[in-house]
Each structure stands twice: as C-alpha cells, then as structure tokens.
Amino acid sequence: MKAEGRIRIEKGKAAGRGRERVHDFPPLLPSEESKMLWVDKYRPKTLDQAMVHQDTAQNLKKLVAEQDCPHLLFYGPSGSGKKTLIIALIRQIFGPSADKVKVENRTWKVDAGSRTIDIELTTLSSTNHIELNPSDAGFQDRYIVQEIIKEMAKNRPIDTKGKKGYKILVLNEVDKLSREAQHSLRRTMEKYSAYCRLILCCNSSSKVTEAIRSRCLNVRINAPTDEQIVKALEFIGKKEGLQLPSGFAAHIAEKSNRSLRRAILSLETCHVQQYPFTSNQIIPSMDWEEYVSEIVSDIMKEQSPKRLYLVRQKLYELLVNCIPPEIILKRLLYELLKKLDAELKHEVCHWAAYYEHRMRLGQKAIFHLEAFVAKFMSIYKAFLIAAFG
C-alpha cells in the first residue's frame, strides 16, 4: 500500500499549526424552515416527496430497497434537481442521521513526487457520507483523487450500527475534473467498491470519461418541463396560501429557462414585490442577462475594432463576476439570434459552436469569446454591406 505512508492528514489541534475549521451549526430545527427561502423550504426531503422526477425517484428507491446501490452518475443541467435527489437518496439509505452534517475545512498534505503540496478542501460530511468538490483544487485535482478520495474510500465506516455496510462519497462537478484525475478515479471506484459507493454529479456526461461512465449507473436528470414547473409553483402557492392568477405560474415558468430554482425564486421575488399577484406582473430578470443584451445591442450598433474593445471590457465584467464563459457565449448567441435575419442564423450558430469548442480546449476564455464577437461583427457587417450597398 503505497498510499499509506504517503499521506499525512494534519489534524488541526494536534499539530498546532494545521488549519482545520469545523463549523458547528446547530441542527436545524423544524421551525427554522420558515426562515428559509422557498427554494430550500420546499425542497423535497425524501424520494417520496419528489415533485418533478417522480419516476426516477421511485427507481432510486427501489434500488436502495434491494440493498444494492451501484455507483451512480447523475447528470443534467443545473437547476434540474440532481443535488436534491442525491440528498434525498442518501437520506433514504441512512435515515435521518444523514441530515446531521458538518462542514469541514481541512488542509491536506500530499506528497507529490519530490515536493509536498498543501491542498485545502472543504468537505461536508455526516457519519455515513462525505460530500466534496474535487475540482476546487484546480489543476491539482489529481492529487485529491489519488490520495484524499482514496484515503476516504479506504476507511470502512466505523459506525457498525448502521445497517448498510458501505458509505457514500458524493463528488460534485466531476465534469470539471481533469482527464488525469478522472483516470485515477476509476481504479478507486473498483478497488474499494465493497464498502464505498461513489455518487458523481455533473452537468454534462460528455466530459466524463467513458471508463467512469461505464462503471456507474447513469441517471439523467432532465430539466423540468414547463408543466412540471407550473405544478411545483402551484404546490408552493397552495402551501403558502397564495392565490396564483391563472397563467401567472406559466408565465414564470416560461421566464425561468426551465430551471426550477429560478422559477421558485422568481415566485418568491414576485411575492415580495407585489403580493396580490396580477397575471401581467413583471417578473424580474437576471441582471447578467440584461447586461448581455446590452452587449448585444452594442454589437449591433457598430462593428469596428473600437467597439470590439468596448465589448471586451464588458465581457471582462461578466467574467469577473464568476459567470461561466460558456453561459455567456450561449446567452450572447441567444440574444443575437433574436435580432438576426433568418439567413444569417445558421452561420452564426455554426461559429458559436466553433468558438465554444475552442474555448473548452483553451484556457483564456476571453480570447475565444472575443473572437466570436469579432466573427459575428465581420459576418454581420459583410451582410449589411451586401444588403444595403
């Protein structure tokens, strides 16, 4: 066991200098639920309560009931309910003890060849499961997988009272893991499968290697349809004792971009802003989307290197505020298409795909975003010249 000697976990208090922060939160009292946002308040706690993916939830429940839980890979767009399902599943397996979680911020020391690397990692754990986000470590994620996850997976659960003889490791954002990290993950998955199950969660399964996908039961979580969203909103409205005018929920669902999270937040926002709802009430939009549409109108107004420079500044603004470049590009395309003639749409879409692909291959997203804008400007200007001389 090579890993045994190599990993040293620094226990904060014992070593005196290690940084270990355990946040002790009081267990959430039932009454406190009233203090949460509706998104969190009406999150289904058990698989039975699931509002949107009932069939998936039932399947999962059966899976657990048969005492056989394979590795799972949940994938689907954000806001579709992957995380909710996972938590409900864990609760289904381990019972209410899974709700008692604590956050731990710990520095791991990992021997990487000649040097030692300090990796800070935040984990969220209960007695039977650990949740972590290995891609936080950036390009050092390999060490997290190779050393830390392996270490976690190796340890048998101490709690013998638990009926289940295994523990669960939840890895978020697996698609952001580097290829190397994913490769090192697959051996871990096989080797320790006797007493450790992995639940992987990601947005796009295409970025998870074939090897990992084949070792997991893939669960696709679709974005909820508008009807499902409407149903959920109406359920909440009933619970809160609100009166939803007809079409209002549909209106929100339409604006929500098929994200349940956004839909519920929008509902609450509307409620806060103006309670007796009117069906044509303004549903507040996301600021960054507004900003993107501002950028688009900038682009449409003028096509020149100067204008491109201005657009660059604005793109930087978005990027600085943690908005992922892929989403920016997508939104940009969406807004552009709204304003384009039909004959250009195809070409623009093509180039958007082209540059998104390059963006994923490269590092500096701004280069590719900007290149797309430039390309669009070029196409559009040529089109204008051709059309109007």
Partner 1 sequence: MDMDMDELELLEANYQLHEDCTELEPPEPYPEEEDQHPTGSKSPPSTDHQQSTETQINGHKRLRPEDETAEAPGPSDEKRSRIEDEDWLRYSPPHQSDPVVEETSADLVEEKIVSRYASEIDGDFIPVTAPGLGDRVYAKISRVEMEERPQRLHGTGQSQSGGLISEPIDVLLQRLEQEAFTRALQASSRGQSDVILPETPVVHERLWVDKYAPNSFTELLSDEQTNREVLLWLKQWDSCVFGSEIRSTSDEVLSALKRHSSITQHQKLSESKFPRSNRGSRWNNEKIKHFNGMNHENTNSKSVQELSNNSRSTGPPEQKILLLCGPPGLGKTTLAHVAAKHCGYRVVEVNASDDRSSSTIGAKILDVVQMNSVSADSRPKCLVIDEIDGALGDGKGAVEVILKMVSADKKSDMEKENVNKEQTSGKASSKKGRKSASLLRPIICICNDLYAPSLRPLRQIAKVHVFVQPTVNRVVSRLKYICNKEGMKTSSIALTVLAEHTECDIRSCLNTLQFLNKKKEALNAWDIGSQVVGRKDMSRGVFDVWKEIFQKRKPKRQQRTNNSCGIISSEFDSLHSLISHRGDYDLIVDGLHENVLHLPYHDPVMQKTVKCLNSLGVSDLMNKYIMRTQHMSLYAYQPVIAIIVHRLVAQVQRPNIEWPKSYYRYRTMLMEKVDSLKSWYNTIPPSISRHFSIKSFVEDSISLLLHILSPPTLRLASLHLLSEKEKNDLAQLVSTMVSYSITHRRIKADPVTGNLGHQAADVSELSFDPPINGFVNFQGYRSGHHVLASTMKQMLAHEVEKQRILQASIGRSAQLTDGYNKENHASLRLETRRLQSGRVDHLGASAVNNGKSESMSNPSSGVLPNLGTGNTPVSTKLNSSGCMRKPSGGSSSFFDRFRKLGKGSQNTAEAVRKEATSERDSRPLVFKFNEGFTNAVKRPVRVREFLT
Residue numbers 17-46 binding partner 1 by CB under 8 A:
21, 23, 25-32, 34-37, 39-40, 43
Q: Considering the complex, what minimum distance in angstroms separates the CB of residue 136 from partner 1?
A: 8
Q: Considering the complex, what minimum distance in angstroms separates the CB of residue 27 from partner 1?
A: 7
What residues numbered 323-342 form the site for partner 1, per CB under 8 A? 323-324, 327
Q: What crossing angle do the helices spanning 226-240 and 248-255 adopt, rounded to 10°?
A: 130
What residues numbered 43-72 form the site for partner 1, per CB under 8 A? 43
**Cα dist from 70 to 4, 76, 203, 214, whole Å:** 27, 19, 20, 11
CB-nearer residue toward partner 1: 230 or 315: 315
CB-nearer residue toward partner 1: 235 or 367: 367
Distance CA(307)–CA(304), nearest Å, equals 5
Q: Considering the complex, what minimum distance in angstroms separates the CB of residue 91 from partner 1?
A: 11
- Is 205 a binder of partner 1 (CB under 8 A)? no
- Is 103 a binder of partner 1 (CB under 8 A)? yes
- Is 367 a binder of partner 1 (CB under 8 A)? yes
- Is 268 a binder of partner 1 (CB under 8 A)? yes
> Of all helices (H) and strands (E), which one includes residue 366?
helix 365-388
Beta strands in 10-71 (DSSP E): 20-23
What residues numbered 288-317 form the site for partner 1, per CB under 8 A? 288, 290-291, 294, 303-306, 308-309, 312-314, 316-317
Amino acid at 122: T
- Is 366 a binder of partner 1 (CB under 8 A)? yes
Q: Which stretch binds partner 1 (CB under 8 A): 53-61, 149-157, 212-220, 378-386?
A: 378-386
- Provide the H-helix boundaries in 66-203: 82-94, 141-143, 150-154, 179-191
Q: Tell me the HSE value of 141 on the side-chain side, using a 13 A CA sphere.
A: 22
- Is 114 a binder of partner 1 (CB under 8 A)? no
- Is 235 a binder of partner 1 (CB under 8 A)? no
- Is 252 a binder of partner 1 (CB under 8 A)? no
CB-nearer residue toward partner 1: 154 or 314: 314
**Which single residue is written with the structure tokens 């039909």?**
342
**Cα dist from 179 to 78, 140, 208, 339, whole Å:** 22, 12, 8, 39
Q: Which of 142, 197, 251, 368 binds partner 1 (CB under 8 A)?
A: 368
Q: Considering the complex, what minimum distance in angstroms separates the CB of residue 290 from partner 1?
A: 7
> Of all helices (H) and strands (E), which one includes residue 111?
strand 102-112
DSSP string, 287-311: HHHHHHHHHHHHHHH--SHHHHHHH
